[in-house]
Amino acid sequence: MRRLFGCLLMLAGCCLPVSSAWGFETPERHEFVVKNFKTESGVVLPEARVVYGTYGHLNAAHDNVVLLPSHYMAELHGYEWLIGPGKALDTSKLFLVTSELFGNGRSSSPSNTPEPFHGPRFPVMTIRDNVEVVHRLLTEDLKVQHVQAVIGFSMGAQQAFQWAVSYPDYMDRIVATSGTARCWPHGIVRLEGQIAAITADGTFQGGDYKEAPKKGIEAFGMVWTGWLYSQEWWRDELWKTTEKKKGMTLQQVMDGYRTNFIPGADANNLILQSRTWESMDVGTTPGFKGDTKKALRSIKVPVLYMPSMTDLYFPVGDARYESRFIPKVTLLPIPSLWGHPAGAGASPADAKFLNENIAAFLAGKAITGEAVAAE
């Protein structure tokens, strides 16, 4: 089931989408609902709701689609660094679908699901759960049987890899920026530290809080911020190169992240998506028996793998390791000091590097990446 918010979809081929006609890109918001959705853990949600956005128009053949799965606590606007005139994704030609993860407070989440699954009783949703419901959205609701590409940043990159393993013939290629096919043990340790910052707040009460655990969420924001950018970014005070923070002191920057890291975020939602993130491993896909290498070797399509050289969430070393097992990989690290956000065009140089190389990859042009010692 789909509910359309905003303007009606234009008839295919009749004219350019509104966003292109007016010179800016704005998505249309939709919802897709699945009744009695069985999660990978075996829990059945009476209603699973996914919010998604669309840019451009779907052509008559339904073959101009690119999927952009969202990252941590993001919503449907999360890929605008890649969309529009002069960027890699042209909405006068492509139909873009931006899906929102379970747990972001808009799609089905601990905060918006009634009992018996409200709050801490909401089931852990895996990356595969998210991929499964979006596959149904595309095939059942939009009648799309194949996409040109799946492009993902961070947890979106996790989803892109899962798509390539779960549905190896569904796309022509994938792009993964600042994200890996498995959350390796050090990443789990980091995420558990951030979860512990929330749960240590006495008002959290096991997730059945009467008021938001403000101090726990603030501690979460500070812990998260310490991993967000590179050490060099902080040393060189690169926040001063941005319009919003150019006049700020270090203390002001820290205070901003502590008190407003993800505005309005619910504590149980933050924890749920952290659990989704840390449970990711393509090797636990049915049929692979926990063998991550075997799952990576099963990927059929070309992969543009773009880790950030200074990412502390998804270290470049993990991407280099995984690349050894992906048959058609181009490993192209992003030369940036902007840490994890480099994979979403955090600086003008990052955005230029991403858009130029992703556009070339989608066009089938050869890209020279790092040498990979295949195994």
| Selected catalytic residue, list 30, 57, 71, 340 | 340
Angle, helices 185-199/214-228, rounded to nearest 10 degrees: 150
- Main-chain dihedrals φ then ψ at residue 143, nearest 5 degrees: 60, 40
Rounded CA gap, 215 and 223, in Å? 12
Rounded CA gap, 10 and 206, in Å? 47
Query: Does the CA dihedral 301-304-307-309 come out positive or negative?
Result: positive
- Main-chain dihedrals φ then ψ at residue 283, nearest 5 degrees: -70, -20
Rounded CA gap, 295 and 298, in Å? 5
Residues written for the chain: 375
CB 310 within 8 A of CB 238: no
| Selected catalytic residue, list 154, 166, 279, 308 | 154
| Selected catalytic residue, list 129, 311, 318, 350 | 311
CB 55 within 8 A of CB 25: yes
Q: By three-state DSSP, how is residue 66 classified?
A: strand
Token readout for 38 is 């069985």
End-to-end CA distance of the chain: 44
Q: What is the dihedral of CA 265, 48, 283, 336, to 10 degrees?
A: -30
Token readout for 41 is 């853990």
Rounded CA gap, 70 and 78, in Å? 7
CB 227 within 8 A of CB 233: no
* 118 catalytic residue (yes or no): no
* 340 catalytic residue (yes or no): yes
User: Catalytic positions, please?
Assistant: 154, 311, 340
